[in-house]
Structure 1
Amino acid sequence: MHKIFCFGEILMRMSPALNGRWLQQNDMPVYIGGAELNVATALAKWNTPTGYCTAMPEHYLSHEIVQYIRHKNIDTAPMRFSGSRIGIYFLPEGADLKHAGVIYDRAHSSFAELQPGEINWNELLKEYTWFHFSAISPAVSESAAQVCLEAVKAASEKNITVSVDLNYRAKLWKYGIAPPAIMQQLLPYCHVVMGNIWSANALLGIDIDEQIHDKKSKQAYTDHAEITAKTIMQQFPACHTVANTFRFDDNAGIRYYASLHTGNAPYISQEFASKKVIDKAGSGDCFMAGLIYAATNSYQPQSTINFAAAAAFGKLHEAGDTTSQTIEQIQSTIKKIHA
């Protein structure tokens, strides 16, 4: 059986109600998340053995969070206690992590201060078949980027499948090294890459058609995704699978679809549409979890991309960073599109 290892920064998300209501009500919901933890949570929900590694300070709050994660069926044994603070970010519900609504407060977090040589990757990874991280992890500090490089090298030496989510956060990457210079060191060890044509441009320096939005065509977007996927595979020969997601606002609602390139062929998901979105945070992480789940359960490529896209679409209708969808609910979402 496959066992998935997720590595990245744990975060506390504060979700203030807009227009000062959080001050009037003396209330601000708190969610525990982080890209890789969101992936781990979904996989554990779907009965996939999953471990999670991060760094938190040694105090009671951290131990309460560990218990919370453990109750979600995630193996917390790999977690480290070091440093002095947990990263925080502020995001009103329904806002988008990529835009101005997010405020980060994660400088000098325990994860950001991890140093090369502190983690015995050979020991931690010995029971795992898949290693997942995101581009957010090397964005938080240069030392965290070096630790990520240690991890993917160790995973590669053990013939562990490595996946990366090319999620780009412009408000990170503040330590003076351009993202492509870091990510191009990491991608040679990655087998499965998920992102979109814009993040591939920002993080890997892959060319993008600046007029793509003017074409306003699903075909144009998915054709571009195929070019991007082929370019990634050519530049990084270890990569055999590339997924690209497309999420477009539609008044108060959304349109969502995705593409998968594997085995020298493209596969396009159904298009999902909704008139209302509850929370955009974590939808990409849910997609990544869906991709990993499908791949490790021998789904065919078309079923894989349909499942991952449906999972991400479903997450848009849930509050918080993580999904509570079941496999049956995701499959029901797919069937509704076919009906």
Structure 2
Amino acid sequence: IKWDDLLTGHTWFHWSALTPALNGDLALVMLEALEAASRMGMKISVDLNYRSKLWDYGKQPIEVMPALVQYCHVIMGNIWAADKMLGAGVDPTLDRETPSSVYYQQATTSAQNIFKNYPNCEHVANTFRFMDNPKHNLFYGTYHTKSADYISKIRETNEVVDRIGSGDAFMAGLILAIADNEDGQSVVDKATAAGFQKLFTKGDFGNGSL
């Protein structure tokens, strides 16, 4: 693959952890792409999508992901995926009843670990999504830089139309806010608003509103 030709003229490279989860060959392709994007000075972001059933080719995420994520400037996922894929650590006693203040502290600790072990990383974000029934969703996010930490307000609904894609929408809002150089609180608020509004839109994509 002629990555330099494909990436010329672009400034941002985004990828998903679903790709290296499929097989070892795709993990190597991702490494080639990331090396090229880094060499060309692109901003690189990753969504730590974790699907346990995909990692079935003899490798665990922690054996594959660190070598890829080392190129990333923006890392988004949740504290459980960050632990599974990057070894960021997570308290196993956390559950649905854990207050957001405790999750915020856990997310901050996780982010500090990521910044320490992945020095290219400048931004870490997490979603927190809990459902009590198919129509319910409690949704908030955290955002972290090397110097500050932020949490969004908690959003909740009992009128979910389609929850698929809400994490992707959060990621889109995150990228937009970072690219626009918004302040930290605006970054997490915009990302959370984008993810939450997707819950009310049928299909894989949101309607673009924030």
Pairs within 5 Å for 1:36-115 = none
**In the alignment, which residue of structure 2 is the partner of 1:239?**
121
Query: Does structure 1 residue 187 correspond to structure 2 residue 36?
Result: no
Code of the residue aligned with 2:199 in structure 1: it is L
**In the alignment, which residue of structure 2 is the partner of 1:277?**
160
Code of the residue aligned with 1:224 in structure 2: it is Q
Aligned partner of 2:177 among 294, 299, 304: 294
Return the index of the structure with the highest Cα Rg. 1
Paired residue secondary structure (1:212): coil
**In the alignment, which residue of structure 2 is the partner of 1:264?**
147
Distance 1:206 1:266 in 2: 16
Distance 2:112 2:146 in 1: 11
Distance 1:280 1:174 in 2: 26
Paired residue secondary structure (2:131): strand
Runs of 4+ in 1 over 4 A off after TM superposition: none
Which fold has the larger relative contact order, with Cα–Cα distance below 8 Å and residues 6 or more apart in sequence?
1
Aligned partner of 1:249 among 121, 131, 134: 131
How far the C-alpha of 1:215 sits from its partner, in A, is 5.9
Paired residue secondary structure (1:151): helix
Note the alpha carbon deviations across 1:55-104, whole angstroms, 9 max, x for none. Answer: xxxxxxxxxxxxxxxxxxxxxxxxxxxxxxxxxxxxxxxxxxxxxxxxxx
**TM-score, length basis structure 2:** 0.96
Q: Which deviates more from structure 2 when the two are superposed, residues 217-226 or residues 249-258?
A: 249-258
How far the C-alpha of 1:256 sits from its partner, in A, is 0.5
Aligned length in residues: 209
Q: Is the 8 A contact 1:179 1:202 kept in 2?
A: yes
Higher relative helix content: 2
Q: Structure 1: state its 5+ residue gaps.
A: 1-118, 331-339
Distance 2:149 2:85 in 1: 22
Query: Does structure 1 residue 159 correspond to structure 2 residue 55?
Result: no
Distance 1:207 1:301 in 2: 24
Q: Structure 2: state its 5+ residue gaps.
A: none
Pairs within 5 Å for 1:311-326 = 311-326=194-209
Pairs within 5 Å for 1:221-232 = 221-232=103-114
How far the C-alpha of 1:204 sits from its partner, in A, is 1.6
Pairs within 5 Å for 1:301-312 = 301-312=184-195
**TM-score, length basis structure 1:** 0.60
